[in-house]
Amino acid sequence: DRRTEAIGHVYRGTFVHSTPHTALQVLEDALVGVDTGGKIAFIGKGQELNKLSQTFGFCPSEVTQLTQDEFFMPGMVDTHIHAPQYSYAGTALDMPLLQWLDTYTFPVEARFKDLEFAKSVYTQIVKRTLRNGTTTACYFATIHTDASLVLGQIANELGQRALVGKVCMDRNKSVKHYKETTQESQEETDRFIAELLNKKYPLVKPVVTPRFALSCTEALLEQLGAIAKNNNLHIQSHISENTEEVKLVKELFPESESYTDVYHKCNLLTNKTVMAHGCYLSDEELDLFRETGAALSHCPNSNTSLCSGTLNVRNVLKHKVKLGLGTDVAGGYSASMLDAVRRAQDVSKFLTIQDPGHDTLTFEEVFRLATLGGSQALSLDTQTGNFEVGKDFDALRVNVAAADGPIDLTQKVEPKILLEKFLNLGDDRNIVEVFVAGRKVVPFTE
Ligand code: GUN
Ligand code: ZN
């Protein structure tokens, strides 16, 4: 008997996903078995139904069968999102990054000292992202430890896989009440990590979160690097988003060779690090990312909305730097990863308009960035990102015919076309079910 755990559920139909070798693999009439622990127990072919049911001990009549217009794809991974900023998403995009932070972001984030307000906004953003197919999110919260713990609790309750960061900042010249002392920041980070780990949420982990070099003293950056190292934790921050920011970092850290070197000196570049943006990184800096295993999060909506820059994804991929997509709510105004997919294609096409020699990203490549690429960027690719035996079943059941298409209902449409249509034209109405670690988390059960 090869069974280790009882089969929880079996799904039959079209599955699309990425592998390390192919941006898009289509499995037609596949059978995917999920065990009661939410892990993929087997992947087989439809015609092997009887054999597999005997081997794995499930009843063929209980298999969930997808329709012709449906497919499963891996849940999407948002590698960079600010949960508190959802409260003003869709507004306040009329100035560049540093003024935007001072004018809108810091005053709003300061309000998250209020746990009731935090709970309300955090419930909204976790629901909104789950409904839109984000099964894994890497969140910035605010400097407030208890409110950040509330975000972890909500992600756990609603069933989203999440990295949650209590934001650290011991420098803020504009909004003076929205910062910590160096010691507070370090002690509260320790408390946040201890209390979050103590909850033993199966899918929610802490991530060490220096806001960015301009918000942190070197002493704080060093301490946070040490905390991450001692506890083997994830790290997230921002890098090289905007030219004014890059210039000020050079002035503030004259000893460092580059922006990347500021973080590297403080042990903040590891294979569990994800840095947002990176629009202005040099080839040498990208090499340092590859050597340390640190990843980038490409946030195209934010980069355009704040007029920050245009990341050359093709160049990042050439340097073999791990890369995922992020919404960067609320520098990016959309919380949907489908928007990030479309914006990433737009930015890539814009680079081709500027330079016809530029090799435009294909939709399959962008699909990979939104799924497997994101899981690799967060070093969670042993758990999620595609359909592989042993990984958790994090999946979207997509129906392209829902909400009136667009689809030709008179004939069978190729799965690749279904995926392309969904990525370019679909929305949450086409995401009929969302699974995280085998649990159906959308539609919500209330
Ligand atoms: N750099 C430092 N903080 C932030 C933030 O909240 N959003 C963005 N887009 N960039 C940042
Ligand atoms: Zn950000």
pLDDT tens readout for residues 233-270: 999 999 999 999 999 999 999 999 999 999 999 999 99
Closest atom of ligand 1 to CA, residue 238:
1
Is residue 11 within 8 Å of residue 60, measured between CB atoms? no
Question: Which of 33, 1, 27, 31 shows the shortest CA–CA distance to 14?
Answer: 27
Report the percent of the chain where pLDDT is more than 70.
Answer: 99
Each residue's pLDDT tens digit, 161-176: 999 999 999 999 999 9
In the chain, which stretches have pLDDT less than 50?
Answer: 1-3
pLDDT reported for residue 5: 67
Contacts of 160 (CB under 8 A, 6+ apart): 126, 129, 130, 134, 135, 136, 137, 203, 436, 441
Cα 162 to averaged position of ligand 1 atoms, centre (Å): 19
* Closest ligand to residue 245's CA: 1
Q: Which ligand is nearest to the CA of 216?
A: 1
Q: Which atom of ligand 1 is nearest to the CA of 331?
A: 9
pLDDT for the residue 38: 97
Which residues make up the environment of ion ligand 2, defined by Cβ < 5 Å?
276, 328
Contacts of 174 (CB under 8 A, 6+ apart): 101, 102, 106
CB of residue 44 inside a 6 A radius of ligand 1 = no
Distance 301 CA to ligand 2 centre (A): 11
Question: What pLDDT sits at residue 406?
Answer: 80
Note whether ipTM > 0.90 here: yes
pLDDT at residue 1, as a whole number: 44
DSSP secondary structure string for all residues of 382-439: TTSSS--TTSB--EEEEETTGGG-SS-TTSPPPHHHHHHHHHHH--GGGEEEEEETTE
E strands present in 112-203: 134-140, 161-165, 167-168
Ligand nearest the Cα atom of residue 97: 1
Residue 407: the pLDDT is 83
Encoded tokens for 101: 């932070």
